[in-house]
Amino acid sequence: MLGEDIGTYGGAFKLTKGFIEEFGSKRIVDAPISEAAIVGAAIGAALNGMRPVAEMQFMDFVTCGFNQIVNVAGTTAYRWNMGVPMVVRGPSGGGVGANPFHSRNSEAWFAHASGVKVVCPAFPADAKGLMIASIRDNNPVVFYEHKGLYRKIKEEVPEGEYIVSLGKARIVREGNDCSVISYGSAVHFALEAAQKLHDEKGYSIEVIDIRTLVPFDEETVLQSAKKTGKVIIVHEASLTGGFGGEIAARIADKAFEYLDAPIKRVAAYDSPTPFAPTLEKAVLPNAENLQKVIEETLNY
């Protein structure tokens, strides 16, 4: 494992606290402040038989290693018929007052890059199972960990061997009136909105956590869309070019005749994430504005 301050300091969010004492400095490597060097070294390690995990201290800074991931790691299997088993992971997302340089949701960039898998867990058990699956995968994986969920969402996590397959969505709440498709932080305010609508008006809302953008579990999403006939897609990333557009296009292409209302998207404004808490709240999606869109769709 390699990254900035992950060894002696234990990581910016203390995710690697105690790792260097347990595994040593040859396996837990404190890297210089150069994301390009971190990713480049990880690619070299992967090509030489290792399975490195490279941390971006904040996923915003993955831009500095973008060329190495997209143009090198993502194309090596195609060019050389040789896998690059590596994981690039780190904290992403807003809602914690971390300003534009520490709040971006950039997962759609990598979903567009051929040869790269993209993972966005919403729950602790999934984070473990998907991480193990990502490390064992023979392709480069970009693994997004929403920083707002680190110490907010708690659940029992299976001990020992536990794998969640990449490319398999999870129905986290079953329903019949409307489907809400989400991932990452958005899963939690989707569940909040669904519960409020059930308690206040008796609506039955299905919530699906796709968990991985690439590979994408199209089958589960289409089945839900066909069952309910009404679909809202929600993610914290900005609207334009967000992965929600890809989901909407696939549903429109393959389940159009089952729909009883237009597909709606709920996402952040096309704006940097503000530092001021009131402005940040206004820019990012939440349970309240999602609930309004669900009701509009139900009443279409």
Burial class (CB in 10 A: 0-12, 13-18, 19+), 200: exposed
Quick check: is 102 catalytic? Answer: yes
Per annotation, catalytic residue among 102, 146, 188, 235: 102
Cβ neighbours of residue 277 closer than 8 Å, sequence gap 6 or more? 97
How far is 132 from 154, CA to CA, in rounded Å? 19
Q: How far is CA 265 from CA 44, 74, 229, 272, in A?
A: 40, 29, 15, 19
Classify 90 in phi/psi space as left (phi over 0), alpha (psi -120 to 50) or beta. Answer: left
Give the pair of three-digit tokens for residue 229: 């006939």
Tell the residue number behind the tokens 């991932």, with chain if given: 183
Phi-psi map region of 94: left, alpha, beta (phi>0 left; psi -120 to 50 alpha): beta
Residues annotated as catalytic are 102
